[in-house]
Amino acid sequence: MPTAKKRSRAGARHLSDHATPWAQCCAGALASVPVLFGIIPFGLVLGAQAAQKGLTPLEVPLLTGLNFAGGSEFAALGLWAAPPPLLLIMAVTFLVNSRMLVMGAAMTPFLQHLPKRKVLPSLFLMTDASWALSMADTRRRVQLGVEPAFSLAYYLGSSLVFYVAWIGCTALGAILGPLLGHPETYGLDMAFPAVFLVMLKGMWRGARRAVPWLVSLLAAAITYKLTPGAWYVATGAVAGIATAIMSAPVASAAKSGTPTG
Amino acid sequence: MIDSANLLAIVLMASVTYLTRIGGYILLRNRSLSPRAMAVLEAAPGCVLLAVIAPVFVSDKPSDLIALALTVIAATRLSLLPTVIVGVSSAALLRYVMA
């Protein structure tokens, strides 16, 4: 919670140190509730779209439960036919979800204390929102000096809320289908930008560190305007990361001596 | 009922998605990263988040741009839930009024 930052350092440290995994799990689940505003209506709409494409109320939760990445599901359903174009669906899915390669990479330094047999199944549940919430929680714990910085329980609490909500809402959408309108009418599509902007505030480390973000935003916006499809996410992310590589603190890199990794 | 062609498409799609989820971890696990690489990884998440929401920033609708501006202002001073409420309600209201 943002209010935790305002608590005294010692007091907050005391609380976090003694939080049981179950309490951390609940904290993660609770932090995820505002994001459900954005997820529930879109799950319903996705289910309805899938039903229009001929997927049954059993196939829809199978798709959203096994894949569990909404952006790629919207994109794939746009291409769905009988029989479905397999290679095209796989390529588009990779394109839309390629950001998770970067997200997983960014999380990895904080996962070193966990065995692979726990990390690999846990990563199945990674979403934009649970990853962002979990990284914000990790940063908070770093500031408070809590070890380990990454709380698997918090991450799982958050992820499972989204998992249950997503499967449930998409299945419900497939059944209710045509009764639903467009979530845009109710402004619900603004929930995701709102969530991400608050996440960005948590990641803010001064204007100079934010230059790659600006480059990413500009490149993505221009690509979105000029090209159809989901290329804009990859273009923006690559442009931003390239900027980050070029503007990374060379002084500290030189100090570290041997260039590893 | 589950159609076998649909089932195949779903399983293949889910496999691709899972590979993107574990790919970064598989590649970077067991490697010590330089401060430079850490700085890049620290910048990467923000880049991804902004790239995902970039279309809103170049929306054709003035109502959406105003709602976004209000959401940005809200995000800088409020916590998550109030910001989401400001974003959703301002978008809904402005679209209704300015449609």
Please tell me what DSSP assigns to residue B34.
P
Answer whether A198 sits within 8 Å of B46, measured CB to CB: no
Q: Which of B12, B16, B98 should we substitute to test contact with A (largest number of A Cβ atoms within 10 Å)?
A: B16
The alpha carbon of residue A61 is apart from the nearest alpha carbon of chain B, in Å, by 11
Residue type, B34: S
Q: What is the pLDDT of residues B45-82, one digit of tens each?
A: 788 889 889 999 999 999 999 999 999 999 999 988 88
Q: Which of A77, A101, A114, A133 should we substitute to test contact with B (largest number of B Cβ atoms within 10 Å)?
A: A101
Tell me which residue of A236, A239, A96 sits closest to B55, measured CA to CA: A236
Tell me which residue of A180, A214, A145 sits closest to A45, measured CA to CA: A180
Q: Say whether residue A81 is in contact with chain B using an 8 A CB cutoff.
A: no
DSSP class per residue in chain A: -THHHHS-HHHHHHHHHT--HHHHHHHHHHHHHHHHHHHHHHHHHHHHHHHHTT--TTHHHHHHHHT--HHHHHHHHHH--SS--HHHHHHHHHHHHTHHHHHHHHHGGG-TTS-HHHHHHHHTT--HHHHHHHHHHHHHHHHHT-SSSS-HHHHHHHHHHHHHHHHHHHHHHHHHGGG---GGGGTGGGHHHHHHHHHHHHH---TGGGHHHHHHHHHHHHHHHHSSSSHHHHHHHHHHHHHHHHHS-HHHHHHT-S---
Q: Say whether residue A95 is in contact with chain B using an 8 A CB cutoff.
A: no
Is the pTM of the predicted complex or chain greater than 0.80?
Answer: no
Would you list the domain boundaries of chain A? 3-204, 205-261
Half-sphere exposure of residue A62: CA atoms within 13 angstroms, side-chain side: 17
Residue A181, burial from CB neighbour count under 10 angstroms (0-12, 13-18, 19+): exposed
The alpha carbon of residue B55 is apart from the nearest alpha carbon of chain A, in Å, by 6
Task: Kindly list the distances between the CA atom of residue A1 and the CA atoms of A16, A150, A163, A194, A199, in Å, as whole numbers in the listed order.
Answer: 12, 15, 22, 16, 12
The nearest alpha carbon in chain B to A204 belongs to: B46
Q: Say whether residue A255 is in contact with chain B using an 8 A CB cutoff.
A: yes
Rounded to whole angstroms, how far apart are CA atoms A141 and A34?
21
List the 71-90 stretch of B: residues with Cβ below 8 A of A.
71-72, 74-76, 78-81, 83-84, 86-90
Q: Say whether residue A51 is in contact with chain B using an 8 A CB cutoff.
A: no
The nearest alpha carbon in chain A to B41 belongs to: A106
The nearest alpha carbon in chain B to A209 belongs to: B43
Burial B1-21 (b: 16+ CB within 10 A, else e): eebeebeebbebbbebbbebb
Answer whether A34 sits within 8 Å of B80, measured CB to CB: yes
Cα dihedral value A140, A144, A145, A147, nearest 10? -60
Tell me which residue of A72, A139, A31, A191 sits closest to B46, measured CA to CA: A139
Would you list the domain boundaries of chain B? 51-99
- Which pLDDT tens digits describe chain A residue by residue (261 residues)? 444 444 444 444 444 445 899 999 999 999 999 999 878 888 888 898 888 888 999 999 999 999 999 888 987 887 788 889 898 889 878 877 888 888 899 999 999 999 999 999 999 999 989 999 999 999 999 999 998 999 999 999 999 999 999 999 999 999 987 676 676 777 878 887 887 898 788 788 889 889 999 999 999 999 999 988 777 888 898 899 899 999 876 654 444 444 443
Q: How far apart are the first and last CA of chain B?
A: 42
SS3 content of chain B, % helix, strand, coil (to 5): 85, 0, 15
Tell me which residue of A4, A11, A13 sits closest to A144, measured CA to CA: A13
ipTM of the shown complex: 0.84
Answer whether B47 sits within 8 Å of A189, measured CB to CB: no
Answer whether A221 sits within 8 Å of B90, measured CB to CB: no
Cβ-nearest to A69 among B12, B17, B64: B17
Q: Say whether residue A120 is in contact with chain B using an 8 A CB cutoff.
A: yes
Query: Is there a contact between B12 and A239 (Cβ–Cβ < 8 Å)?
Result: no
